[in-house]
Amino acid sequence: MTLCVPPGTTSCSFIFDDRHCSVVTGIDSATLRLDLMLDGVPLAPISTRFVHMTDSAASLIVKFYADTSSTLLSVGIQISDYAGNMSEAHIDWFICSADTCPPVLIYSSVSDSDTISVHSPPRFVLMDPLDSLCPFCSGIDDSAIELSISRGVAFPVLLTPGHGLILSSYLCSATVVLDTAVFPLRYGETYHAGLRAWDRAGNLLRTPSITFFAELPPDTTPPCIEILEPSPGESVSSMVTVRVKVCDSCAGSWGISGINLSSLRFSFDGDSSAVTSVTHLYDSTCHGYILYYSVSHLRVGTHTVCLRIADFAGNSSDTCWSFIVAPFVFELIRPDSGSVVSCDSLAIVLRFPHGIPPYWSLITVSSPSGSLVVSPVDTAVTEVRGDTLIIEWLSSLIDGLWSVYNDYSRYYFTIDRTPPHIEFVMPRCADTLWDTASYIVAYIVDSNAVYDSSITITIDTFAYTIRSSLVSWSATTGTLRVGLDSIPLVDYRSIRICVSAADMPDTCEPNCDTVCCVFPVGHIIKVVGRVLDQALNPIPGARVVGMRYLMPSDVVFSTFTDASGVYSVELHPRVMTMTLMMAAIDTSGAHRPEFWNDQIYPFDADTISLHPGENTFDFVLETYSTYHFIKGKITDASLGTGLENSIVMALPTDTIRTDRYSFAITDSVGDYSIPVEDSTYYVLAYGDGYVPSYYGGVFHWDSAAVVRVRGSDVEHINIPLRNAPLTPSGSVIHGMTFVVVGDTDTVATRGIIAMLCEPGSDSARYASISAVSGEYQMMGIPPGTYKVEGERFIYIPAYGWETVTLPPAATRDIFLKWAGEAGIKEIESKPYSVAVAVFPNPFNRRCAIDFELARLSFLRMRIYDITGKLVSEPVNAHLRAGSYVTIWDAGDLPSGAYFVVVNAGEKTIRKVVWLIK
C-alpha cells in the first residue's frame, strides 16, 4: 500500500524497541542507516533527531521537504541493537494534493439483528480508501470518531476514543472497539448503534443504525496459557519479569465467555502474589490478557512460578514452571575500591571467580553524568582476558562518586581531576588591605575530600616567605589564616600573596592550583583642622561638612568640632578619586558660614584634594556683631517632601561683595536657618537633580521676591524645587559660560547656572552649574525645543538667549555681563571702604577682579607670585565711590598660586588666586 502525504515540509517518525526479547542490549544509534528517494532520486533530509527514550527504546524523527505532487517518496531504514541484531523496513508515500473520498467501513463484528456475546464487544474496522478512484489517503482522524449507542429505550450515549472507545490506528486504517469497562454489555438487552468517522481531509462516514442483542453463548473450552518469559529451565539474572499470556480463544474453542481476572491465582516460589501489571488483548485470536510479574534481587538457584485462571463459563487451566538464577559475582581489581583517581583516562578491571558470564549478563558503570551498560560481548568497550573483563571508559571523566555493579556485586570509587578551590575571603581578592591589618583569611576546600585533610599548602609573597609559625590551618572548616606581622604594610602601596594547594589522590598525579592576589594597601586618610573666629578663638560645636563638588546631597563626611574647635574624621581611600568641597557652619549662627579658602558663595567654592595620611583644613569664620535668621523649608515641588542637604543662599540686594553672602544646608526634613545681618536679601535654593529657584518661584534674581530682615528672624521662607527627570535615551547639551567685560573681552566663568527653559516663558525645566573650567553639561534631556538661559546673581544676559531643538546633541555657550547699578536695589552705608571678588578662581589665563569702593579713594592693585615677585599692577589710580571690574591676563605665567593685594586708604585686602593651564 502506498500512503498519501501532503506536499511541503513533512516529518515522519519511527520507534525502535528492543524489549521484545528476553535479553535486552539497547538500540545502537551508530548503526542507523536512512535512505530517502523521491521518484528514485536521493532526497536529503532537512534534519534528523535520534532520542534514547529508555535503555531499550529509541525514536527517530526525520524532517524532509517534497513539493511536487504525484511523486513517489520512498523511505528505507536499517538499525541494530548492541548485540548486532539488525532490523530493516521500507515504506512508500505518495505526494498528494487532496483527499476527497470519505472513510469506508470494511469490517464490523456485528450486523443488524445479530446476537453477540456480552464478552465480545462490537469491533469496527475503518479504511480511508486508496485506489485508482481515491488516489490520496489523508488517514482516519483519531479525534473525530463517534459511536452513538443506546440500551433498550434509553437515550443514546455518544462514545469517543478514550471515552468509551478503544482505538488502534495504522496508516490509512483504524480499528474501533467498544470499551465494555465504560459501557458494559448486559445479558438479554437490546442495543442500537451508529458510527460516524472523519478522515483528516474532513470527509465524513456515517453508517446506518443497527440493532443487536447481547447473549451469553456456551463456553466449554478452558483458557489456554502461554509462557512468554522466562522459558522453563532458562538461566537468568537476579532481576526478572515474568510474562504469561492467557487467552479464552484457543484452538478448538468456539464459545468465548472471556477471561475472568478475579479467578487468577498466582504464586512465586510457593508464595501467593499479585501480578505487577496486566495488558488487555482484544485480538479475536486471544480474547485475554498478558500478565506481568517483576521481581529483583533474586537469590541464586531455582525459582518456580504457578498460576491458575478460569473463564466466565467456569472452565479453568493451571500450570507451573521453573527457571534458574545464576550467580555472576566479580571483584574490582582496578581502580581500588574506595580509592580516589585523578587519571586522564579510565580502564575498569573486573575479575569473575566463576568465569566470564554469558552475553545477557549486564554490568553497569555509573558516573555523575550518566551510566554505561555493557555485556561481555560489547567488544567496542570491553576486552576479555581469561576470567578478567576490562571496560574502557571512552567518554569524558566527570568528578564525583562512581560505581560499577551487576545483580551480585557493587563497588565504588571517586574521580577527582579538579584541584582544591582557593578563595581569599577576608579581604576578598583585589579588595583593599588596610595598613593596620594583621592577617588575611583564605578558604581552601577539595570537594571530594571528607575534611580537606588531603590538602598540602604553600604560601609566599613577592618578597617574603611566610613560615608555618605565621600560618593557622583548620582542616575541618577549610580556612587558612595567614599572619602579616612580619610585613611592614605601611611601606607598600600593594602586596601580592599566593596560595598553592594540592590534593593527594590514590592513583595518578595530584591536582594542584595556585591563586595569587594583589591587594592594594589602604592607608587611612584623615581630615583634621580647627574652626576659629576672627580673634582666633575656637568655635565649639561647629559642623564641618565634606561633599561632592556642586552635589550637596552626596555628603562624604560630616562632623563637629570639640571644645577646642578641633575636628577630625577618618575616610576611605576612595575619596582620593573624588572632587570635594568643604564647608564650616557655626550651628549657633553667631558666625558667617563659609566654604574652604574663604569662599562664601557655594558656586565659587574651591575644591580640595586629599592624600594618604593627615589632611589639614582650617577655617576662620567672621563673627556677626548682630544677626538674625532667615528660616524656611525646601521641598520637592511634586511630592511636597522636604529635601535634605540642599544649599540655601542669602544674597544681599545692595552689594556685589560675596563676603557679605550667607548660606545654610537643610536638615533631614528640609528645614534651614541662615544667619544674616539686617538687610534685604534674595534667597536662592539648590539641590541635586532639581532646578535652582529663587524665593518667589522664579529662576532669575532680577524678578525674585526680596526678604527684609529688620531686628528679628524672618520665617516661612519656603521654596519648592522642581525635579528635573532625565531619560536614559535623552540628548546631551553642553557649552561654556562666559562673562563679557567691556565690549569684546570674555572670561570663562564657573558657578553660572545653565538652564533649559520653556520657549514661551522663563520657566526652567533642566539645569546645570558650570564647573571650574566654565564648562557645563546636561545629559538625558527629552526631545523638544528649549531656550538656553544663564543665571548668576547681579549678572544679566549679554546678548539675549538662544533656542535649541534636541535631539541631536547640541553646543550652546552662555554670555552674561555685570548688571552694574541695575543690580543694586538698596544702598546702605557699610563700614568697609573696599570689597574685592575674583572669578573664576581657579582660572585659565584670564580672570575678572571685581571691587567696590564706598567712598573716593586712592586704590592700588598689585599681583605677586609665590616668591614675592611683582608680576602685574592692574590698577593704580584715584577712583570715585562705585563698583568696578578689571581683567587680568596672566599671559605666559606658569600655573600656580598668585596673590592679589589691594590697598585703598588704610584698608588692605589679600586674595589668593590659582592659575591652571
Domains and CATH numbers, the chain: 3-95 (2.60.40.10), 104-215 (2.60.40.1220), 224-325 (2.60.40.10), 331-415 (2.60.40.1220), 421-522 (2.60.40.60), 525-621 (2.60.40.1120), 628-721 (2.60.40.1120), 724-821 (2.60.40.10), 832-915 (2.60.40.3080)
- Answer whether 0.75 is exceeded by the pTM: no
Of 770, 767, 765, 692, the closest CA to residue 736 belongs to 770
Q: What is the pLDDT of residues 806-853, one digit of tens each?
A: 999 999 999 998 876 333 333 333 444 577 888 788 888 888 888 888
Which of 96, 196, 80, 86 minimizes the C-alpha distance to 137? 96
All three cell numbers of 262, joined, read 478475579
* Phi, psi dihedral angles at 203 (to 5 degrees): -80, 140
* pLDDT on residue 107: 93
CA distance 119 to 248: 11
Q: What is the DSSP letter of 412?
A: E
Per-residue model confidence (pLDDT) at position 531: 94
The gap from C-alpha 266 to its chain's centroid, in whole angstroms, comes to: 58
User: What's the rounded Cα separation, in Å, for the pair 781 and 767?
Assistant: 10
Report the alpha-carbon angle 818-821-822, nearest 5. Answer: 75
The b-or-e profile of 792-821 (16+ CB within 10 A means b, else e) is: bbbbbebeebeebebeeebebbbbbbbbee
Contacts of 503 (CB under 8 A, 6+ apart): 340, 342, 416, 419, 420, 446, 448, 449, 454, 455, 510, 511, 512
| Exposure string over 558-587, b if 16+ CB within 10 A, otherwise e | eeebeeebebebebebebeebebbbbbbbb
Of 661, 673, 658, whose CA–CA distance to 628 is shortest?
673
CA distance 31 to 156: 54
Which residues are CB-contacts of 249 (< 8 A; sequence separation ≥ 6)? 256, 284, 285, 286, 287, 288
Task: Spell out, as residue ranges, where the chain has pLDDT lower than 50.
Answer: 1, 450-452, 462-467, 821-832
CA 480 to CA 503: how far, in whole Å?
15
> Cα–Cα distance between 871 and 856 in angstroms, integer?
27
Question: Quick one: pLDDT at residue 457?
Answer: 62
Rounded Cα distance, 98 and 70, in Å: 11
Nearest to 567 by CA among 548, 600, 540: 540
Could you read off the pLDDT of 305-317 as tens digits, one per residue? 999 999 988 999 9
Give the pLDDT of residue 217: 66
